[in-house]
Chains A and B, each alone.
Chain A
Amino acid sequence: MSKEEIPKARVSVSVPGSFSLLHADLAAQPAHRRAERIRQLATIGLLVCTGKLPAHASVTDTPHGGEPPEQARAESVAAIRGLLDGI
């Protein structure tokens, strides 16, 4: 797999503080140091990472690292609609 084909990091983050501060912190790092910084922040308990971190990892506050397949999304939407219909 070439470098271009490596999918974007699927990193789930839990941040006790502000996402904007976290983003500012990571934006200040050179790209090649971001994964190391994420690990560093995780080590001292500032965020929780799940998943493997490739070298070019970045943190995103979008849910769970990307769009699931269409069928799975339809299943989620049906579950949410069912839940909301019941209240």
Chain B
Amino acid sequence: MYILGLDIGYSNLKLACGRAGTTPRTEIQPAGAAPRSRLNVRLNIPCMDPIAQTGTDGVRVRIHGEEWVAGVHPGRIEHWGRPLHKDYPTTDSYRALFHAGLLACATRRIDALVTGLPTAQWLDEDYRAALKSSLEGVHKPDGEHAVEIVEATILPQPLGTFIDFLWGRQEENVVRHLKELCVAIIDAGYYSTDWSVITQGALRKALNGTSMKAMAMIFEGAARLIADDDGAEISERQIEEAVADGRPTCIGRQLKPISLTPYLTRAAQEIAPIAIDSVCADLRDADTAPQVVILTGGGADFFEQSARAAFPAARVVTANDRVIANARGYFFARSVA
């Protein structure tokens, strides 16, 4: 059985694919997607450090007969609105990234596709069914070759990370004592910070939430702080790309390299506590105190300090490979079925 775990985020497309029972191949691509005519021209400048290269021209896919590119940095796309709203799964950008995910598998038949929705959206049965139905069937991602998806499964997003956490036995005691524990999973994404709670080994359907205090706001805050200190006009998009590429600096005024870490840390100290406070308030209202807090998503590191302060009695852990953890957990969800 061929399985694809697909996590289409606002900042990255993450996938884990392969045969059931094997270690999946994983891939992360930037989540920029648009008609090909909107892609700017990239100069092919050799770079000393391959980790600092700014990506490729993406994957060519077809959407409604039109040629698109997917898997490029959003900064490569001009005059095109980036979809940042909760109906993201219904957009053409999402569909283009889905097609890029199918092409990355290089197979004609995917027996099981597993993806996720934020818990609140997942609870909406009509929304979930519509997404499932749109993913199943025969697709022509490049307009020529057919790829069949036999069955799609939609999971509450945080379960992806939690399944990966259990599979990898990141904390032995959590696996052993799962039935006795209350576990909060906080997914610090680009557009939103989503959280869910698992008690006695089961998802608490009524206990979840979303805060807009997420990485996009941290990038925005860092850009503002840099402008205040240095006068440099560095956009949040430039900071996002630097972080995604693993570049520790951006270029400021008079070509001065500006170290991003201090600014990101300061911005996170403003934004992350607000998101974590909203989790705390909801848990307090439900008279629930987590014994384990798992941080995941690209912003997990920026939320760790606030989570430790907010949950002093809990074991606070950052998920291994937190960017890919959801996709890999989706893969394992079907691999063990």
Binding site for B on A (CB under 8 A): 12-22, 24-25, 28, 41, 44-48, 61-64, 68, 72, 75-77, 79-84, 86-87
Most chain-B CB neighbours within 10 Å: which of A15, A18, A81? Answer: A18
Nearest-neighbour CB distance to chain A for B45, whole angstroms, equals 16
B169 touches A68 (CB 8 A): yes
Of the candidates B163, B201, B321, which one forms a contact with A13 in the assembled complex, judged by CB atoms under 8 Å apart?
A: B321
Contact A15 B202 (CB under 8 A): no
Contact mask for chain B residues 16-41; partner A; CB cutoff 8 A; 1 contact, 0 none: 00000001001111100000000000
Binary interface profile of B, 154-168, with partner A (CB < 8 Å = 1, else 0)?
011001001110111
**B192–chain A nearest beta-carbon distance, Å:** 18
Name B's A-contacting residues (CB within 8 A).
23, 26-30, 49-51, 53, 55, 155-156, 159, 162-164, 166-170, 172, 175-176, 178, 198, 201-203, 243-246, 248, 261, 298, 300-301, 318, 320-324, 328, 332-333, 336-337
B166 contact set on A, CB distance < 8 A:
76, 79-80, 83
A16 to chain B, nearest CB (A): 5
The answer to whether A82 and B169 have CB atoms under 8 Å apart is no
A84, B27: Cα distance in complex, Å: 25
CA distance A4 to B72 in the complex (A): 42
How distant is the Cα of A14 from the Cα of B297 in the complex, in angstroms? 10
Partner of A16, one of B159, B170, B172, B246: B246
Ordered by A's residue number, 18 sampled pairs between the chains whose C-beta atoms are within 8 Å are A14-B323, A15-B323, A17-B243, A21-B245, A22-B246, A24-B50, A28-B50, A47-B246, A48-B301, A61-B321, A63-B23, A63-B164, A72-B172, A77-B336, A83-B162, A84-B337, A87-B155, A87-B156
Given A75-B176, A79-B178, A80-B332, check contact A19 B167 (CB 8 Å). no
The secondary-structure label for the interface of chain B is mixed
B175: contacting residue among A14, A18, A45, A79, CB under 8 A: A79
* B27 x A20 contact (CB < 8 A): yes
**A47 — nearest CB in chain B belongs to which residue?**
B246
The residue on B at minimum CB distance from A69 is B169
**B167's contact among A45, A80, A84, by CB below 8 Å, is which?**
A80
Are B51 and A62 touching (Cβ within 8 A)?
no
**Cβ B169 vs Cβ A72 within 8 A:** yes
Contacts A64-B320, A83-B162, A86-B202 given; indicate if A44 touches B248 (C-beta within 8 A): yes
User: CB distance B169 to A62 under 8 Å?
Assistant: no
8 A-B pairs with least C-beta separation: A86-B202, A63-B168, A64-B168, A46-B246, A17-B246, A25-B51, A77-B336, A12-B320
Which residue of A18, A25, A72, A83 contacts B163 across the interface (Cβ within 8 Å)?
A: A83
Tell me whether A75 and B175 are in contact (CB under 8 A): yes
Please indicate the chain A residues that have their CB under 8 angstroms from the CB of B248 in the complex. Answer: 44-46
What distance in Å separates the Cβ of A83 from its nearest Cβ neighbour in chain B? 6
Contact A62 B23 (CB under 8 A): yes
A sample of 18 more A-B contacts (CB under 8 A), given A22-B246, A86-B202, is A12-B320, A14-B320, A14-B323, A15-B321, A15-B323, A17-B244, A18-B245, A21-B53, A21-B245, A21-B246, A46-B51, A61-B321, A63-B164, A63-B321, A76-B166, A76-B175, A79-B178, A80-B336
